[in-house]
A and B are shown apart, each in its own frame.
Chain A
Amino acid sequence: MTISTDFGVWIAALLTLCVFSFLYKDNPLYKFAEHLFVGVSAGYYIALNYWTVVDQYLVIPLRAAFDGSQAGGPFQAQMQDYRGWLIVPAVLGVLLFTRLFTRLSWMSRWSLAVVMGVFAGLKTTGFAQGDLVAQVQASLVPLWIPGDLWGSLNAILFTVGLVTSLLFFFYSREHKGVLGGVSRVGVWFLMISFGAGYGYTVMSRISLLIGRFQFLLVDWLHVR
């Protein structure tokens, strides 16, 4: 058995063991790995956003707008080409940092207002089109499929589950009488769904756990 001689593999393996040490109890090795993880994650996402968003959509277009190379001047905007008008999001981005200063923090609301307005408008139509209509459309299945009794039973079960689960979320009337009975059936379906979701989540985490052990045993310790 030969252990890996790759410095990167050693660092990854030791950090993996530091995180796993939490299974015993909270300890300095875990705290070290935890804080390092937070710091590296923050640095990584800041750099990623700088190069994929700020540089690409703000710095490069702004530089091009004011170096005199583009016909029509720096403020001739058209679809996807906003030139000098990109100064506005740059100023709004800088205004966000006023949150760090108590007396000026109210100014960051202007930037937040732009983000909230855009995402409120986008999500209102986006969820209507992508989730509500698409999910309703996909749920309108034929209840009777000639020659396929099993398929028909499943379709009926699905429709009953969908309608009763939706009725469980109808809180404008007290869940009594018929609505109470129907919403109880909805709860059964929701419980099955939560249980399946729980099992699915545990299994996906277990596959990550297996991946980490494979890394330690195969990539680091070269056990084959």
Chain B
Amino acid sequence: MKREIPLFLTAVIGAIVLAGFFVPHPYVSVPADYLQRCAVIVVAFGYALGGANLVQVNLEGILRRHPDWPYKLVLLAGMGVTLVFGLFVDRAKFQDPGTVSLWIYDHVYVPMNSTMFALLALFIASAAFRAFRVRSAEAALLAVSALVVMIGRVPLGDAVMAGVFDHPGLPEWMRHLRLEPLQQWIMDWPQNAAKRAILIGAAMGVMATGLRVILGIERSYLGGSD
């Protein structure tokens, strides 16, 4: 029964929400809307569960004096201070101008978040340089389109090629071969065609997975065997 009841719940709830899309009658749309509200609230509790799990794992590491335990302490302190100011000190005015919660967001969270993602620029580029080799026509297509998009999206790259293709002795149509319009053409047409195919395929995949979950075929979310 530990697995059957959740499977039954998923099937019934999924069917009601699915029916809510097609049947606008209040007998269906009100329960469907109520269930959506329930899911949003449960997901919000999920964030708190994640926090509790973080505390559990890191506290254990600190108490057992794992090699990196001082960093775990930093993690818990960061989380604790943010929570205390976010939930209690700045009560009901979370992230309002002048609050500590907004100060933490602006001066701690945002700088580290954007620097972490900025670091990825260097690591993506160096990983590609080390691992990527042009050994086939397909690999060449990938490399050329990546280079055109990268160089064409910066003013300097476009300006360098403009000196070549804007020469008065060349025909008008050759101006389209400048990197900026060329990268835009790649983004608008060949890239867009393949991206649409991926999106259409992904949409069909999501629909199929949704139906598998509702019909109880997909059960991996229930976890363990008991």
Contact = CB atoms under 8 A, between A and B. Distances in A.
Interface residues on B, range: 35 or more
Contacts of A94: 45
B207 A37 contact: no
A157 B13 contact: no
A1 interface: no
A212 to B, nearest CB: 5
Q: Which 3 A-B pairs have the closest CB atoms?
A: A43-B82, A47-B86, A161-B193
A105 B29 CA distance: 32
Contacts of A196: 145-146, 149, 183, 186-187, 190-191
B164 interface: no
B13 A117 contact: yes
Interface string A122-149: 1111011001100110110000000000
A128 B125 CA distance: 36
A205 B124 contact: yes
Nearest to B17: A121
B141 interface: yes
Of A9, A196, A205, most B-chain CB atoms within 10 Å = A196
Nearest to B200: A135
Contacts of A188: 137-138, 141
B189 A114 contact: no
Interface in B31-54: 32-54
B17 A118 contact: yes
**Majority DSSP secondary structure for residues of B touching A:** helix
Given A11-B108, A36-B74, A80 B33 contact: yes
A152 interface: no
A132 to B, nearest CB: 4
B71 A35 contact: yes
A38 B68 CA distance: 15
B78 to A, nearest CB: 3
B197 A162 contact: yes
B3 A109 contact: yes
Interface in A100-120: 100, 105-106, 109-120
Interface in B93-116: 94-95, 101, 103-116
Given A97-B49, A124-B18, A131-B199, A198 B41 contact: no
Nearest to B91: A51
A20 B118 CA distance: 9
B174 interface: no
Contact of A89 (B21, B32, B41): B41
Interface string A1-25: 0000000110111011001101100
Given A43-B86, A99-B49, A191 B41 contact: no
